[in-house]
């Protein structure tokens, strides 16, 4: 089968198109024919230096799948051959990701594809959408009438977080560059803060009569998270997918809850999200669709750190 393989860690140029053995489903596993996949920031980190994730070249990266069940191993009763599915493969120690024609995965992390979505749309959802769902719905438990601040609202995770928070009945503030203002407004953001020209805390306090937001969803990390903590009210909630550099004393003094998120793989989360996509309440923000062989081009975009939504690879 065809796959994009890395023989060493490095830049986007390390990807090579190869013929590799087709895997087979073992007990409790399914073999999925990949129709489409997508790229995520974690892909670039592993491609550059993935020993931290237990990856040893040669390896196939890729952590989003939309496709069709080709084979079901012994003990699999929840999925049938020919069923259209979507999921995000495990990262740690996974030598065979989704940048290939076929992939094997435990049936317990695979779910039926949302009805009404094609494979291109579905492939953009599992990792980024699941991470946003974990943050907005499960950890922050956003409720109607609350105000939520999303750092990095135009990115892969952020664009889902904005929509999930809006669907939960919240008022949504989101940071982005001015170029993404219209995009975020279309996704449901009530206030778009240009992080390049505006002070995020001042703008957030101005939008909340000086009280601060109920919840903060951080998808940026690094130097962005800790300065933004001043935008969160006492007893507020904070979730981050990357962490950051700074002092967390304010979290203690303001009795705030801080959640770190590294997405556990499971079928239940994919099933929980699916109705919102099927009904069109939430949609993936897709910036570009490329053939699988152009994964290096997609990774060059990732390396800029300024993407909009998701880049999908058609297999």
Note whether residue 278 is domain-resident: no
Q: Is 153 found in the same domain as 117?
A: no
Distance CA 41, CA 152 (A): 13
Residues of the chain where predicted confidence (pLDDT) is lower than 50: none
Distance CA 216, CA 233 (A): 10
Last residue of some domain: 214, 244, 260? 260
Distance CA 28, CA 282 (A): 31
Distance CA 132, CA 100 (A): 26
Q: Is 147 found in the same domain as 108?
A: no
Domain that holds residue 134: 128-260
Note whether residue 268 is domain-resident: no
Angle at which helix 156-167 crosses helix 126-133, to 10 degrees, equals 50
Q: What is the model's pLDDT at position 242?
A: 87
Q: What is the model's pLDDT at position 196?
A: 94
Distance CA 205, CA 182 (A): 22
Q: What is the model's pLDDT at position 100?
A: 98
Tally the domains of the chain.
2
DSSP category for residue 57: S
Q: What is the model's pLDDT at position 245?
A: 74
Q: Is 201 found in the same domain as 252?
A: yes
Note whether residue 194 is domain-resident: yes
Q: What is the model's pLDDT at position 24?
A: 96
Give the helix ranges, DSSP H, for 73-155: 119-123, 126-133
The CA–CA distances, whole Å, from 160 to 14, 31, 89, 221 equal 30, 28, 19, 17
- Report which of 312, 265, 315 is spatially closest to residue 134, judged by C-alpha positions: 265
Q: Is 155 found in the same domain as 58?
A: no
Distance, CA of 128 to chain centre: 1
- 200, HSE (Cβ side, Cα atoms, 13 Å): 26
pLDDT one-digit tens code per residue, 51-97: 999 999 999 999 999 999 999 999 999 999 999 999 999 999 999 99
Q: What is the model's pLDDT at position 306?
A: 67
């Amino acid at each position: 089968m065809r796959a994009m393989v890395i023989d060493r860690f490095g830049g986007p140029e390390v990807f090579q198109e190869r013929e590799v053995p087709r895997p087979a489903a073992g007990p409790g596993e399914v073999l999925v024919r990949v129709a489409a996949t997508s790229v995520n920031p974690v892909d670039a980190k592993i491609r550059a230096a993935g020993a931290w994730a237990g990856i040893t070249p040669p390896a196939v990266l890729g952590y989003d799948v939309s496709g069709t069940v080709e084979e079901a191993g012994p003990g699999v009763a929840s999925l049938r051959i020919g069923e259209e599915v979507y999921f995000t493969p495990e990262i740690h120690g996974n030598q065979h990701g989704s940048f290939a024609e076929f992939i094997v995965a435990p049936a317990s992390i695979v779910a039926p594809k949302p009805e009404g979505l094609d494979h291109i749309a579905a492939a953009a959802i599992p990792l980024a959408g699941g991470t946003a769902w974990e943050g907005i719905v499960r950890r922050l438990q956003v409720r109607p009438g609350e105000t939520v601040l999303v750092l990095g609202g135009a990115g892969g995770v952020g664009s889902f977080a904005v929509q999930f928070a809006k669907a939960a009945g919240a008022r949504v503030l989101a940071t982005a560059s001015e170029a993404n203002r219209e995009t975020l407004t279309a996704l449901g953001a009530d206030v778009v803060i240009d992080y390049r020209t505006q002070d995020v805390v001042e703008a957030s306090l101005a939008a909340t009569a000086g009280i601060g937001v109920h919840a903060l969803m951080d998808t940026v990390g690094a130097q962005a998270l800790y300065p933004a903590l001043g935008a969160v009210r006492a007893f507020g909630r904070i979730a981050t997918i990357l962490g950051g550099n700074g002092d967390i004393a304010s979290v203690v003094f303001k009795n705030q809850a801080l959640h770190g998120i590294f997405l556990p793989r499971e079928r239940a989360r994919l099933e929980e999200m699916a109705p919102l996509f099927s009904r069109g309440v939430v949609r993936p923000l897709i910036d570009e669709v490329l053939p699988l062989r152009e994964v290096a081009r997609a990774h060059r975009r990732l390396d800029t750190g300024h993407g909009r939504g998701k880049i999908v690879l058609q297999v």
